[in-house]
Amino acid sequence: MFPDMFEIFNQGEQRDEQGSDDPSPSSINSAGRFVPDRFFSVSVGGSILIGDKPNVTKIAKFSESINRLSAEGYNFALVLGGGKICRSYQAAAKALGANNYFLDELGIMVTRINATLLTQSVDNAYPRVLTNVSFVKRVLDIGKIPILGGQIPGFTTDAVAALIAEQMQGNFINLSNVDGVYSSDPKKSRSAKFYPELSYERLISIIQVVESKPGQNLVLDLPAALVLKRSRIPSLFVNGNDLENFEAAVRGQEFRGTVVNEEISEGEAKTTGKIVPRRRHELEEEEEYKDPDPDEIKF
Ligand code: UTP
């Protein structure tokens, strides 16, 4: 009855592999090559740029920040979230009988529509929203900024951004409408404690405690945090409504927010943070290759 159904699906895949979603290596522009230590995978909460409808002023201002930082030599991948408009669609579908898988697929569609707006306002954006995380590197290699929404049902856009930071061995930034990581939802609890610095382990234990309490909202979900931890990705959590602060964070200047990185041990606390970029090349030179022990590989 639906002879073309899988045909259509395959065409979509082919378009991803060969067509206009796929940045052609023949157009590589060597001037645009990115430097991993200056690379930031940014998860932009839907609440920042979209809310219940797209906020043109905020989208334009955020794009100006990205344009400025790009001109200074910083490289980005941008992952846009769903916002309230996404939850409205999901609530409508749920009321009509949709299951959770469908709600996630719908969420992914909305995040991609949101992301499409950014492709029109960021100067050097790759003109199509990427539907495959593995194309990010190719887009960066041709000197363009990859822009994405969601990817996989059951996931969040934070987890997508964390995977991109992992793939590119760069930094992760989460932009939300709070100042960073708190012990509970600061919009709901006055006693919520702000953490300027956290170890990966502490970040995960905070998420586990907060997620065990119904109705609490935290800036990051557990799958995203596990990706950050397993690859020790330098991570920042800042308020996306304060773009000066966001720019300071990217430039390595003092900023208000939460820093999670390898060099932070338990109990340290400062009121402002500074990112310590991963010294990838130094580490590679120092470390001698040893035969891997499969029993010691941990994720
Ligand atoms: P997010 O929850 O990532 O968007 O995606 P958001 O707006 O940043 O979230 P908050 O509210 O500001 O924290 C929106 C929805 O899209 C689906 C999920 O249903 C998610 O709730 N989604 C997104 C996926 O299923 N997979 C993805 O990879 C991303």
Mean pLDDT, rounded, for 258-263: 89
CA 214–ligand 1 middle distance (angstroms): 18
CA 280–ligand 1 middle distance (angstroms): 31
Higher pLDDT, 263 or 56: 56
Beta carbons of 125 and 118 less than 8 angstroms apart: yes
CA separation for the pair 180, 28 (Å, rounded): 37
Name the H helices within 19-133: 46-49, 56-71, 83-95, 100-119
- Most trustworthy range by pLDDT among 26-35, 146-155, 262-271, 284-293: 146-155
**Residue count of the chain:** 299
CA 270–ligand 1 middle distance (angstroms): 31
Q: Is 180 touching ligand 1 by the criterion CB < 6 Å?
A: no
**Least confident among 6-20, 126-140, 239-253, 259-273:** 6-20
Q: Is 43 touching ligand 1 by the criterion CB < 6 Å?
A: no
pLDDT band at 290 (very low <50, low <70, confident <90, very high): low
Q: Is 156 touching ligand 1 by the criterion CB < 6 Å?
A: yes
Q: At residue 284, does pLDDT exceed 50?
A: no
Q: At residue 22, does pLDDT exceed 70?
A: no
Shortest-distance Cα residue to atom 16 of ligand 1: 107
Shortest-distance Cα residue to atom 18 of ligand 1: 104
CA 101–ligand 1 middle distance (angstroms): 12
CA 228–ligand 1 middle distance (angstroms): 18
Nearest-atom index, ligand 1, CA of 48: 12
Whole-number CA gyration radius for the chain? 19
**What are the extents of the domains in the chain?**
28-296
Q: Is 199 touching ligand 1 by the criterion CB < 6 Å?
A: no
Fold designation for 28-296: Carbamate kinase (3.40.1160)
Q: At residue 33, does pLDDT exceed 60?
A: no
Nearest-atom index, ligand 1, CA of 177: 12
CA 162–ligand 1 middle distance (angstroms): 14
Beta carbons of 165 and 148 less than 8 angstroms apart: no
